[in-house]
Amino acid sequence: MDVGAALVIGGTGPTGIHIVRGMVERGWRVTILHRGTHERPETPDEVVHLHADPYDADALAAVLDGRRFDLVVAMYGRLRRIAELTVGVADRFVSVGGVPAIRGWMNPWLFEPEGLPVPVDESAPTVAEPAEDEKGYRVARTEEVVFRHHPDAAHFRYPYAYGPLQVVPREWSIVRRILDGRRRIVVADDGLTLHHHGYTENLAHAVLCGIDRPDDAAGHVFNCGDEEVLSTRQVVELVAAALGHELEIVSMPHELATPARPLLAQPATTHRVLDTSLLRQRLGYRDVVPARQAVALTARWLAEHPIAPGAPEEHVLTDPFDYEAEDRLIDAWRAALAAMPAVAFAREPGVGLAYSGPGGRPRTQPTFVE
């Protein structure tokens, strides 16, 4: 069924490929506008290609001149200029931005005590001043520009994405250590930090849900991300299990756990968790691939498509993979722990009588009676 003509600005990246394929499957006549430097074999043959730089307003205006579409999906380029230049070009506008618009996402020290509220929904304040977070301020103002020019737009906030072809592959910090035969990995504060990510197919599906339900999506911002938020420790354990490797997790206080920084992707161990209930309730979103399965798939893909040492992806991750230094740090930490004196308490602290799980308060009755 011919749904209409759609222009996707971008469409060749890790999520764009899935969006374009999903639209073609739904019957859209899709044109993608991109620079032409990353042609993907996964792009359906029937898709029309327009080559221009979406960051160049003049080039973009020239290529759009005289063209008309039923839908524009803007997911790459200078979104503020794209929103302005597509007024009158399409009946509907769908855009993709990022979670740094949320106040405190990049700067948890804005809150007292330190830490972004958990979870944060779409009504949470956005960055109001450049001094709070310069990038987040620009992202937040871009959202305002989108709705100023397209009041019925649907805007989707991406968290960090993971999956095949991702240019900032979080899991590579774990996968490379496994491929290099490492048996230990350092995490900060037991790896309990929760940091919302989105598997590429899941993020694409979120946007497709908005395309499928235009009336429900119009005029709204949607937080996107996997339904389950995994801790750093869980990600490490899932990657190791997927690759059949035993990897000892060495926990240190954040102040000492220097090698754990690339996995944290922020200079703190505070949580970053999105409330995605609006996406689920209004647009019917559910994960295409559950988070635990998605991490395993990503780990295996990276193992089959390893990144060359020193490649741009490693530069972006800022992980030096300095195993000699890591071993010195681990050995020093364990020596410090071994030197800790035994401290006896007059009365051993417990976990509280309200806790009734394993090791907690014993049952009042030896057997359960229905």
Residue 21 lies in a domain: no
Residue 169 lies in a domain: yes
**Higher pLDDT residue, 207 or 368?**
207
CA–CA distance from 60 to each of 8, 9, 19, 69, 151 (Å)? Answer: 13, 10, 21, 15, 22
What is the per-residue pLDDT for 315?
92
Contact 88, 26 (CB under 8 A): no
What is the per-residue pLDDT for 358?
84
pLDDT at 355 exceeding the cut of 90: no
Residue 12 lies in a domain: no
pLDDT tens for residues 21-75?
Answer: 999 999 999 999 998 777 888 899 999 999 999 999 999 999 999 999 999 999 9
What is the per-residue pLDDT for 17?
95
Residue 314 per-residue DSSP state: H
Q: What is the pTM of this model?
A: 0.95
Residue 125 lies in a domain: yes
153: pLDDT confidence band, cut at 50, 70 and 90? very high
Contact 9, 51 (CB under 8 A): no
359: pLDDT confidence band, cut at 50, 70 and 90? confident
Residue 42 lies in a domain: no
Mean pLDDT along residues 356-366: 78
CATH number at residue 206: 3.40.50.720
pLDDT tens for residues 3-18?
Answer: 899 999 999 999 999 9
> Which residues span the domain enclosing 102?
89-337
What is the per-residue pLDDT for 1?
66
pLDDT tens for residues 252-304?
Answer: 999 999 999 999 999 999 999 999 999 999 999 999 999 999 999 999 999 99
Mean pLDDT along residues 207-232: 98
Q: Percentage of residues in the chain with pLDDT exceeding 70?
A: 100
Q: How many domains does the chain have?
A: 1
Beta strands in 134-269 (DSSP E): 154-158, 160-162, 184-188, 197-199, 220-223, 248-252
Residue 175 lies in a domain: yes
Contact 238, 174 (CB under 8 A): no
Mean pLDDT along residues 331-357: 92
CA 310 to chain centre: 23
CA distance 75 to 208: 13
What is the per-residue pLDDT for 8?
97
Residue 73 lies in a domain: no
pLDDT at 110 exceeding the cut of 70: yes
CA distance 159 to 233: 19
Residue 68 lies in a domain: no
